[in-house]
A and B are shown apart, each in its own frame.
Chain A
Amino acid sequence: MSGQSSLLKIESLEKSYGPVLALKNANFEVLSGEIHALLGANGAGKSTLVKILTGVISGNSGSISLNGKPVGFSSPDDARKNGIAPVFQDPALIPDLSIQRNLALTGTDEKRFITELSAMGLNVNLNEVAVNIELPLLRMIDLARALSHDPELLILDEITAALPVDLAEKVISIMNSQKNKGKSVIFISHRLAEIEEICDRATVLRDGINVDTFAASRGSEERIVAAMLGDKNKVSNKLSDSKKIDRSNSVFLEAKSISAGKYLKDLSFQIRKGEVLGVAALEGQGQDLLFEILAGESKLETGEIFVNNKKVTLNHPRDAISMGISYVPGDRKSALMPQRSIRENLALTRFRGISKWGMINTKSEENQVDDAISSLQIDTRAKSQVKRLSGGNQQKVTIGRWVTTGFDLLLCFDPTRGIDVGTKQQIYDLIRKFADQGKSVLLFTSELREIQMVCDRAIVIYEGKVQADLSIDLCSEENLMNAAHGILVAK
């Protein structure tokens, strides 16, 4: 690492939003030709730091220097001209504009863009409007656009979250090739395995201060987690003991050769009572459609679904809810009423059931909601408006509303996406608790490690079919990955 010059240096940066201090005395240095991980639990100040670096907001005090020269960015355009290009979790492409006009907006050279995109093995119709393009591809387009500007410093903010494995690998190879060209990358991710694998150094932020900077390597996970959490509860990656207990064998739901849309073809599986069944798949294998079918949001074309050995038709979400099937969608924002309180959000699905009788027992509602808040450990400091909660707490609210209603099968689609390690653990614990109560959980996660941490069994979907049905001891990341790529797993 010696001999590398300093590209970006941030010294005692401070930023407050009213009385809330988001960054206090943050120091951060990125060398040229390095991949530097920026880590921290939700609310640690990562996004504030990135916003300052990309010219979205400016700091209150402190200094930023680029190549030894002091700088301050007045706008994202200004930052881009100085060689800093960010790619965010939500692509900064204009939804209603075609890709071509999006490129024109940022003054991006079309030929260069196409070269960058085809180097990733991807292509896109430049006349297609951004809103019609799937999120994973859109992120890669945003990345290709950033690369077309030859950035000295590429900032990737949670870009691999919910990205299918094959695309995430492409992102990683791009980071490495930037590094080989002597350019730098700031990489923000909740996936610790990725960080250990590809980053040179890591800086951990906690409560707006940089608490630790060290060389990242295999095994730094514990140090990262310790630095992120401080003295707070340590996270264990171990399976809870209850998990090893044999579950009852009665089947709650069975899907028999269901087909729908472009992807699902002749897919069958069973989920037992008291079981957490993991679903693993690369992006675009129809897993989202499968969840929507089970939730009654989409219809299946052929095949049958049985609940408690009785054939059912799920034409509407209320059909699914009346069968005891509850759905926690991947997009938290679509499930919540952002301006309303935690209490109202939690009670929303209760009203639906109770208003049939015409009366709401407010006392019992209050008790149930209070129970849900405490059992979910929701941070209630910002309880008056759900939109002010952190992503993790919002996710707990979407799960929590079903706790107050009651359910037999919970469909969780990527519930820990973009959530910090501590909250992740709480959500895993919650899911395990449901299973202990004899309820079933179907869990899709884009982070394969989670399956071994929380599930009893996993199915892997490949080309519309169940490619593998693995007991938990066979759910190593390697096995899951192989199956997700269509490779048979030796049992």
Chain B
Amino acid sequence: MNVIQLKRQSWNLAIILLALVLGIWRISQLPQFGAYEARTFVLGILPIALLSMGQAIIIIGGGINLAIGAEAVLINCLSARYMQDTTFTESVVLAIVFILVGMLIGALIGWIIAVSGIADIVVTLATSFLLVGVAMYVMPQPGGGVNQQFADLVSGKVPNFIPPLIWLILPIILIWIPLYRSKLGISMYAIGSSKEAAFLSGVNVKLTKIKLYAIGGLFAGLSGLVLTGITLSSSPFANISNTATLNSVAGAVLGGVALSGGVGGLVGPALAALILFFIPTILLAYGIDPAYSQIITGALTIFVVLFGGLLRKRTAGKK
């Protein structure tokens, strides 16, 4: 661990600190803090944390996925429809199938972007309308259900907060760390940082893009399934997918991912989801209108983008 690595970790440290401060603040508002409250925290952030991580991977690779919320909503609807009245084993098998469906949708979006050369933002915006349409076809009304054992596997029996915590940490250990160390991981940073230099270094830019969107789809699939496990139902609404998408971008940005690509990690976005969760709940406890919490979240995001931009400028200016 040298100074350079320490400097790179400083953003994560700042995010951890902010999350801790807000966490202690929130806990001080509660009459008591135990496993039940911890479970509420984790369940509150899990879907959006997973989505932020998926978004982070795509943004680090120089893209942005405005359809990621719609991907999650579609998987939420698919799972709530088909996992209703199933056995535990069937549910698990279906869960795996739906995660693969999420990956496939992501890969398709990535393929369209890579082959057409149309900007990510345009393709994914168009796809988001399409996917919400499909979700409404799958579940015309809110509803559906899931095997209870499967739901417990996701969200834990009250007040067991360990299962959701595992679902938060497991993707970082099983997906992020191997990805970061792999050739694909380096290629992800490379195409996000400089497409041209990446190409000259021998990176297959198009294939990398497709793979990253597929991994983003995997996280969206996980997020959709977790949502089904927590709410035991589904809601095929565009406003849910839009809010989820925007929160995933906010989470990634707050978590230290540069919108210009090539910079960031996944631990930051996961923690940022915690911050995005604490702000409205803390304010709500004071009886403050939820609209104000939106203002504060928005202001914080702007501040972070500005601060991050300045920080980057300063390091780049040393050239």
- A interface residues with partner B (beta carbon < 8 Å): 54, 56, 75-77, 80, 86, 88, 91-98, 101-102, 104-107, 125, 127-129, 131-135
Contact = CB atoms under 8 A, between A and B. Distances in A.
Interface of B: 2, 4-5, 8, 183, 186-187, 189-190, 192-194, 196-204, 262-263, 315-316, 318-319
B193 A94 contact: yes
A64 B2 CA distance: 48
Given A104-B183, A131-B315, A131-B316, A96 B203 contact: no
Nearest to A108: B201
Contact of B197 (A94, A107, A134): A94
Contacts of A92: 196-197, 200-201
13 contacts: A76-B201, A92-B196, A93-B201, A94-B189, A95-B194, A97-B186, A104-B183, A105-B201, A127-B5, A128-B4, A129-B8, A131-B315, A132-B319
B202 to A, nearest CB: 3
Contacts of B187: 105
Given A76-B200, A125-B2, 17 more contacts: A54-B200, A76-B202, A93-B197, A94-B189, A94-B190, A94-B193, A95-B193, A95-B197, A96-B189, A96-B194, A97-B262, A105-B202, A105-B203, A106-B201, A106-B202, A107-B202, A129-B4
Given A105-B186, A131-B315, A135-B319, A96 B200 contact: no
A133 B192 CA distance: 19
A102 B200 CA distance: 12
Contacts of B319: 131-135
Nearest to B195: A94
B109 to A, nearest CB: 24
Nearest to A97: B189
A105 B4 contact: no
B193 A132 contact: no
B262 A95 contact: yes
Nearest to B202: A77
Contacts, number: 79
Contacts of B2: 125, 127
Contact of A104 (B186, B204, B315): B186
Contacts of A102: 201
Contacts of A132: 315, 318-319
Contacts of A91: 197
Q: Is the interface of A mostly helix, strand, loop or mixed?
A: loop
Nearest to B198: A94
A34 B186 CA distance: 36
B3 to A, nearest CB: 9
A91 B196 CA distance: 11
A95 B316 CA distance: 9
A413 to B, nearest CB: 15
A435 B200 CA distance: 44
B190 A97 contact: yes
Contacts of B190: 94, 97, 105
Contacts of A86: 200
A96 B202 contact: no
| Most chain B beta carbons < 10 A, residue from A56, A80, A88, A101 | A101
Contacts of B318: 132
B199 A56 contact: yes
A97 B193 contact: yes
| Most chain A beta carbons < 10 A, residue from B187, B200, B203, B263 | B200
Contact of A80 (B4, B202, B315): B202
Nearest to A98: B4
B299 to A, nearest CB: 28
A406 B101 CA distance: 65
A76 B183 contact: no
Nearest to A88: B200
A132 B4 CA distance: 11
A129 B2 CA distance: 13
A174 to B, nearest CB: 20
Given A105-B187, A134-B319, A94 B201 contact: yes
Contacts of B197: 91-95
A82 B238 CA distance: 52
Contacts of A77: 202
Nearest to A81: B202
Contacts of B183: 104-105
A56 B199 CA distance: 8
A172 to B, nearest CB: 24
Contact of A96 (B5, B193, B201, B204): B193
A75 B206 CA distance: 13
Contacts of A94: 189-190, 193-194, 197-198, 201, 262
